[in-house]
Structure formats: C-alpha cells, structure tokens
C-alpha cells in the first residue's frame, strides 16, 4: 500500500506519535477498531466502504499494512452487510462475524491478514447445533471458540480449543474441547482477551477459569433476578483493572443494564448500579483516581468503582482529555475513540492517533478539569509497598557498609512535605526522639487552599526507650495518598479518609525494641507455644537494618494475593491499650477501624478474630461478632450477598461462640434461619445440576475436560466390554 507524502508529528508527554496521512477505506467513516492483546496490532472496519484495514504499532508509529474488501471474505455479501470484528491475534489472525439473514445464529470467518486467506476450522459436524457464538485468542496465538454442541443427545455449551501448533495449510483442527454445562442450566459463556473463561449459570453464579491452565480461579455471586434469567443477553463484558484487584461485570438485555464491581481478593461485591444502552466500558487504573468509564451513545459516565453512585457525566470526555494531553491536536472531527491501557486511540482523518498518558496526567485532568474531589477509596497496594522497600534496599550508605539504611531525618531539625492532589502530609522532628505528623486536604472551592485534617499527631511511642534510635527513617506518599513510613518498629501507613482525621491504617514489623514489652511479649509467646526459648525472641526483633527490611519485604511478597497481607494482629492485640502516642492509642484505633469498616472486615476478619481469640481479647471479639450481625440486619435488602461473607466469619468460629458467647450464637442462628428462607432469596439458592460440569467443582484443580473422540471411544469400550468392570474388581 502506498503512503501519502503528507505526514504530521504530534508530541506527547511520552513520545512523538507520527501520523501518516492515508485515505484509507476510501475516506469513508471508520466504525470499529480492535486491538491485539499485546497492543502491537489493530484492525479497523468501515461498513460504508465494506473494508477492513490492518495496522501495526511500533512504539512511535501506527502504520497501515493491508486493506481488504469484505466482499473477498464473504461470498454471499449483501449490499449493507452487518459485519463486526470479533477478535485479533498477536500473529495477525482475525475473526469477523455477521448474523445470518434468516436466522438468529451467527456466521464467523477466520482469516490470516498477511496472506488474505481464509482459515478453515475443523469441528465435528455431527455435534454442532449452530455457528460459533464467541471466540478469543490467547497470548500464544491459540484460539478458543464457544459453540453449542450435542453430546449424547443433550445440548452443551462447549469451548473448542485450537492450538497454534495445529494450524497447517490454513486448516485448523481442534483436538480438545471443554464442556461448560447443559444449555438451559448455563446462562452464558464468555471468553476474554486476557485468557479468562467466565461461565454464568441460572442462579447468577459467575465462575472464572484460566483458559490456559483450565484451573478454577474465582466465583462471584450476582444479585440475580428473573429479568436476567429470562431476557436475552445482548452484551456481556468482563473488565479487570491493571492490577487485577477489581473486576467489573456488565450484562445488558433489551431493556436493562446491570453493572457490578468485585474485589478479586475474595469475590466481594463492592458496588453495583443499573442503567440502559451501554456502548462499552473500561477502567482507567490508578490508585488515586481509579475510575470506570461507561460509554453511551451521547455521553460518558465516569464512576468510582468502589462507589458506583458517584458519577460525573461528560459528553466529550475523549476530546477534552486529548486536548489536555496535547492542545495542538484537533480531535473534534474524530470518528471513533477507544481508551485502553492508558492510551487514547482516535480515528482521525482516516488515521489512528495514539496518545499515551500517565496516571499523573489523568489525576490532574480528573481533579482540575472534571472537578472530581471525591475521596480516594482504593485499598493499599502490595506493589507500591514493594517498590518502597526495594528503593530502600537499593541504596548504599557507603562502599564499606551497606547494612544500614539511609535516614532522611538524621539531622536535628528536619521538616519534609509530601504533596498529593488531594492530601498533603508534613513530617517534622520535634526533638531527637519525637516527630510531629500533620495532614491537609485540598478545599473544593479553592484549588490553592489546604485545610488541616484533625489535630496533629506526635508519633513517637511513649513506651520506647529514649535515645536509642530515631523513630522515623523514611516516608513515601502512596498512590492513594496515604503516607507509608519506615520506623524502628516496622512499617506504618497513615490515612485521613475513613475518619476525616489522621489514623493508623496498617502496621507490620513486630516486635518492638522495648525491655518492658520484650519481657511481657516473651511470657505471652512462651505460654501460647509460638516461642520456645528467649533466644528466639532476639532473632525476631525488627531493627532498622537492611537485612530486616529484606525480611519484611519477603513476608509481604509471600502473600499470594494482590493486596497486602493482614497487619500484625498478634503484635498489636496484646498491647493496644499500652502503645500510646501523645495521649492517643493508634493501634487500638486501627483494630476499631478494621472492625467498623465492612470491606476490611470482610478481607481480614477471619485473621483478626482468630488473633483476638488466641490472645483472649474477648471484649473486642464480641464487638467484631456484633458488628457482623449489625451490618447484616441494617443492610439486608441492600447488599445481601456481600454481607453473607460477614456471616461466614461467624460460622467459622461456632465452637468459640458456643463456649464464650452463647447469646451471640443464639442470635446468629435465629437470624440466618430467618434470612435464607424468604421468597426474596429464592433466586440465590443454588440447585442441584443434572450433569457433571464446571460449576460443581469450585476447588477442583482442572475443569471437566471432554474430547469428543476420547469420550466416544470410552463410551464404546464400556458397551463392548461390560465384563471389564468385573475383572477389575477381582
């Protein structure tokens, strides 16, 4: 394809994006753009021109490679074909689909763009009921196709796998298939571009599997009703944020749109809403400004995934943000926009303009241009703490000794400021041992005005022996604008969001360097059997040296989930009434906040309750039990499914309840027997399925795999040689 002589370059904050002026699609409107999973290839579709075009992206250039007529791909093309792009692989294979003219089934075409040849996929015709419904490519170029198939006179939702090594002479044979369940029991199957398989049953139970390993990953319970059971699903979307800590689920019927956001850590429902006529949605991932973008025909809604009711409506979001990134670009006439992986793709003058943006640019636009001053809700990110600790370990004080870390507050008088978009922190040395911590929030009405949050806090613990160490060594502002702090007792994270005052949000690094606490700690740990002799105590001390930072980092990384591991509850609980800082008790406040906040209680409630019972802190354990019951009773009709996880915390400690809190146990049993029976919850009851399929194997390492040839052979063997069972038993 020849290139037009006219070229333009647009400079962004990251690189120069060169636009080549080609009159592609004969100057006709571009209706769809589809990106490969590695973001190196794109395909555009023009319905008016009846053509598709392949593009290749090489860091700074998006250039067209091939222009193909749709008529060359579909022999029976009509004058106005209803064509859409379904999937594109990293190796330039594409899938297109269109409805049949006289039926509701779909027709799919599989093509190799470089050679412009069709790929024939081979499925057993005797088992197929209709054309493929959906498909997706893996990062390795394998293809998964969702087809309704017949096995032993029953219709099954089936995934056929086509592996790249089996593609020969433009003929592709499937050698493995996955039986997802009987049609009618399974509401929908969906294949995502990030190699996930989602299966939805009639009870609203959504199961997530890894398409490569075929292993179970998670289950999410939807607040299902009869509308979603009976109406046709026109659209279903499953979008993860960049850190895979959140999952947004979207279902659309002809008259309803349902959107829900879940924590992937334990499948907790964070928020949900109902709308109409969604075009598509995506995440902009940044801990301090993470948002879900809902694209409708005439407007874009920017919603907080932790609280979907918080919404900002913007009719020209992409145009305004593009201009903010580079005011030299005229994007008013763009045909199409797509925001994905911190890039804006604009189809402009028959070209594709790619603009990368950083999280700082997005936050600045969100706060200043869209005037979104909503509080920051994301939980603490393990990756950010990892970066903070790695930065400390990578520094050398001197060539002779790299054991000790650099102390930012070693001078007598030091004052440091850590500025965010909404929160500003000040850390100031008061004397050799004490530090003063202040926090400020930006005033909504005045961008330059900072209002102090609550009272300042003196953060040197009064129980520490004076003169041994400076308490604070290093600080770092996290993306959610909390303040991380390395001290002589370990890692502290401070926040202002929950109580509108300075509160301790996280602690890890026990035990403390105090003789009084050492003696008491040794006795407690000796009694519980966690420490056999006093010498073990010396090995577990946290001192401000790099080897101990390394150990702290290892403990955090050993936690398999994306979020931070639970705080050191066993360190805090025995002493929370004695660890005082300037007439306040931050460790007691931390425990109270973890019990009061529903999300942290769901995430860490099991570990906290176990620690409370082990340390005989029965008063606070009783508060935890009562809070679980209180939330369930007050929010029964609002977040029933989410609150069930709080009841699980109680159900796993029934023995302790019966022994120590019989009244709470009586209330729990009475409440649960009351809530499970009513008709409002009938849709949540999961019935017995008649077949062996994925939903019956929540913790099963491999889903129910079925190969048509193997299963047919096994079935034939059982019929032909029925006596084998008898011989085997002998």
The answer to the question of residue 192 being in a domain is: yes
Residues 6 or more apart whose Cβ sits within 8 Å of residue 448: none
Indicate if 453 and 543 belong to the same structural domain. Answer: yes
- Assess whether 404 and 541 both reside in one domain: yes
Question: Which tens digits make up the pLDDT trace of 28-80?
Answer: 888 888 888 888 888 888 888 888 888 887 665 567 777 888 777 776 665 56
Question: What's the pLDDT band for 294 if we cut at 50, 70, 90?
Answer: confident
CB atoms within 10 A of CB 15: 13
The label of the residue with tokens 């850390």 reads 427
**536 and 392 in a common domain:** yes
Q: Are residues 108 and 126 in the same domain?
A: no
Does 707 score more than 50 pLDDT? no
| Residue 319 located in a structural domain | no
Identify the CA nearest to 164 among candidates 193, 143, 139: 143
Same domain, 557 and 667: no
- The position carrying tokens 């300042």 is 456
Given this model, what pLDDT does residue 19 score?
A: 40
Residue-wise pLDDT tens digits, 231-260: 777 788 888 888 888 999 988 887 788 889
Residues 392 and 534 placed together within one structural domain of the fold: yes
Task: Judge whether 262 lies within some domain.
Answer: no
pLDDT digits (tens, 9 = 90+) for 115-136: 666 777 766 555 565 667 778 8
pLDDT of 566 strictly over 80: yes
* Dist CA 345 CA 2 (whole Å): 23
Among candidate residues 656, 677, 698, the one where a domain is terminated? 677
Cβ proximity of 162 and 121 under 8 Å: yes
Q: Which residue has the higher pLDDT, 335 or 100?
A: 335
Do 695 and 201 meet the contact criterion of CB atoms below 8 Å apart? yes
The average pLDDT across 595-601 equals 91
Same domain, 409 and 557: yes
Q: What is the pLDDT of residues 488-522, one digit of tens each?
A: 888 999 999 877 899 999 999 865 555 556 566 65
Residue 711 resides in a domain = no
- Tell me the per-residue pLDDT of 190-214, one tens digit each, with 9 for 90 and over: 888 888 999 988 888 899 998 888 8
Query: Which of the residue ranges 19-33, 241-255, 375-389, 547-561 would you say has the lowest mean pLDDT?
Result: 19-33
The predicted structure's pLDDT at residue 122 = 66
Query: Who wins on pLDDT, 343 or 538?
Result: 343
Domain annotation covers residue 730: no
Strands 351-356 and 343-348: antiparallel
* Average pLDDT rounded to a whole number, residues 1-29: 48
Of 68, 101, 118, the one marking the end of a domain is 118
Q: What is the pLDDT of residue 300?
A: 86
Domain-embedded: residue 535: yes
At residue 679 the predicted structure's pLDDT band, cuts being 50, 70 and 90, is very low
Instruction: With beta carbons less than 8 A apart as the criterion, state whether 7 and 17 touch.
Output: no
User: Strand, coil or helix: what is 681?
Assistant: helix
297-344 pLDDT per residue, tens: 778 888 888 888 888 888 888 888 888 887 776 666 676 778 887 888
Q: Are residues 532 and 437 in the same domain?
A: yes
Q: How many domains does the chain have?
A: 4
CA 636 to the chain's CA centroid: 26
Residue that wins the pLDDT comparison between 422 and 101: 422
Query: In DSSP terms, which residues pair with 475 in a beta bridge?
Result: 485
> Both 458 and 516 in a single domain?
yes
**DSSP3 helix / strand / coil % (the chain, rounded to 5):** 25, 35, 40
Contacts 24+ apart (CB under 8 A), 491-495: 491/385, 491/389, 491/552, 492/459, 493/380, 494/425, 494/437, 494/439
CA dist., res. 378 & res. 37, Å (int): 26
Above 70 in pLDDT, residue 596? Answer: yes
The two structure tokens encoding residue 425? 């922190």
Helix or strand (DSSP H, E) at 487 = strand 483-487
Domain that holds residue 126: 119-201
96 and 151 assigned to the same domain: no
Token pair in block for residue 78: 């009509």
More confident residue, 140 or 98: 140
Mean pLDDT confidence for 10-14: 38
pLDDT of residue 105: 37
Calpha distance 156→691 (Å, rounded): 10
Beta carbons within 8 Å of 534's beta carbon, 6+ residues apart? 522
Task: Classify residue 249: in a domain, yes or no.
Answer: no
| Final residue in a domain of this structure, among 86, 103, 118 | 118
Cβ-based neighbours of 79, under 8 Å, separated by 6 or more: none
* 430, pLDDT greater than 60: yes
Contact by Cβ (8 Å): 92, 41: yes
Which of 562, 699, 18 is CA-nearest to residue 244? 562
Domain shared by 136 and 159, yes or no? yes
Q: How confident is the model at residue 9 (pLDDT cuts 50, 70, 90)?
A: very low
Same-domain check for residues 111 and 131: no
Note whether residue 504 is domain-resident.
yes
DSSP strand pairing (171-173 vs 120-122): parallel
Highest mean pLDDT among 15-19, 434-438, 578-582: 434-438
């Amino acid at each position: 394809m020849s290139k037009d002589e006219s070229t333009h370059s647009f400079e962004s904050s990251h690189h120069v994006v060169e636009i080549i002026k080609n009159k592609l699609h004969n100057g006709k409107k571009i209706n769809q753009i589809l990106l490969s999973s590695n973001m190196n290839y794109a395909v555009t579709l023009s319905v008016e021109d009846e053509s598709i075009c392949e593009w290749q992206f090489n860091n700074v250039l998006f250039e067209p490679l091939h222009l193909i007529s749709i008529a060359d791909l579909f022999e029976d093309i009509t004058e106005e074909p209803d064509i859409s792009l379904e999937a594109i692989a990293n190796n330039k294979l594409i899938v297109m689909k269109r409805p049949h003219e006289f039926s509701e089934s779909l027709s799919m075409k599989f093509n190799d763009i470089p050679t412009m040849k069709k790929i024939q996929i081979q499925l057993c015709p005797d088992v197929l009921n209709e054309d493929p419904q959906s498909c997706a490519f893996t990062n390795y170029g394998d293809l998964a196709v969702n087809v309704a198939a017949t096995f032993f006179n029953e219709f099954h939702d089936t995934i056929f796998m086509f592996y790249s090594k089996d593609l020969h002479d433009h003929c592709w044979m499937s050698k493995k298939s996955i039986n997802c369940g009987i049609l009618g029991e399974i509401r929908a199957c969906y294949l995502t571009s990030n190699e996930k398989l989602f299966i939805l049953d009639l009870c609203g139970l959504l199961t997530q599997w890894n398409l490569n390993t075929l292993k179970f990953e998670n289950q999410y319970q939807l607040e299902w009703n009869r509308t979603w059971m009976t109406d046709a699903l026109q659209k279903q979307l499953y979008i993860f944020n960049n850190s895979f800590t959140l999952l947004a689920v979207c279902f659309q019927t002809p008259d309803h749109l349902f959107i829900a956001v879940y924590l992937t850590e334990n499948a907790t429902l964070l928020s949900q809403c109902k709308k109409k006529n969604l075009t598509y949605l995506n995440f902009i991932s940044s801990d301090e400004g993470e948002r879900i973008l809902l694209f409708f025909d005439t407007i874009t809604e920017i919603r907080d995934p932790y609280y979907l009711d918080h919404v900002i409506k913007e009719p020209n979001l992409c145009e305004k943000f593009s201009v903010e990134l580079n005011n030299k670009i005229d994007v008013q006439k763009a045909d199409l926009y797509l925001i994905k992986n911190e890039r804006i793709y604009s189809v402009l003058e028959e070209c594709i303009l790619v603009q990368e943006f950083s999280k700082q640019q997005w936050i600045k636009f969100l706060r200043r241009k869209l005037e979104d001053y909503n509080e920051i809700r994301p939980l603490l990110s393990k990756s950010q703490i990892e970066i903070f600790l790695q930065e400390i370990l990578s520094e050398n004080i001197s060539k002779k000794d790299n054991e000790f870390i650099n102390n930012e507050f070693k001078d007598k008088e030091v004052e440091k400021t850590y500025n965010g978009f909404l929160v500003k922190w000040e850390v100031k040395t008061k004397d050799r041992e004490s530090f003063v911590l202040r926090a400020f929030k930006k005033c909504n009405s005045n961008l330059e005005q900072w209002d102090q949050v609550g009272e300042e806090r003196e953060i040197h613990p009064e129980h520490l022996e004076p003169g041994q160490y400076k308490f604070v060594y290093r600080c770092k502002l996290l993306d959610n604008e909390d303040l991380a702090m390395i001290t002589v007792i370990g890692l502290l994270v401070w926040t202002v969001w929950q109580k509108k005052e300075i509160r301790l949000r996280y602690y890890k690094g026990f035990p403390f360097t105090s003789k009084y606490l050492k003696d008491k700690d040794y006795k407690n740990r000796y009694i519980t059997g966690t420490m056999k002799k006093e010498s073990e105590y010396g090995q577990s001390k946290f001192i401000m040296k790099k080897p101990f930072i390394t150990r702290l980092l290892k403990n955090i990384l050993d936690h398999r989930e994306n979020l931070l591991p639970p705080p050191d509850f066993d360190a805090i609980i025995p002493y929370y009434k004695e660890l005082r800082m300037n007439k306040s008790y931050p460790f007691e406040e931390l425990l109270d906040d973890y019990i009061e906040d529903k999300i942290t209680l769901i995430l860490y409630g099991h570990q906290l309750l176990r620690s409370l019972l082990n340390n005989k802190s029965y008063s606070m354990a009783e508060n935890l039990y009562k809070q679980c019951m209180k939330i369930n009773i007050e929010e029964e009709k609002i977040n029933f499914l989410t609150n069930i996880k709080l009841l699980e915390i109680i159900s796993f400690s029934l023995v302790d309840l019966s022994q120590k809190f019989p009244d709470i146990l009586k209330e729990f049993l009475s409440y649960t027997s009351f809530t499970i029976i009513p008709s409002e919850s009938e849709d949540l009851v999961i019935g017995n399925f008649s077949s062996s399929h994925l939903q019956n194997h929540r913790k099963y390492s491999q889903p129910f795999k079925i190969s048509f040839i193997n299963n047919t052979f096994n079935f034939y063997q059982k019929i032909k040689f029925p006596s084998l069972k008898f011989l085997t038993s002998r």
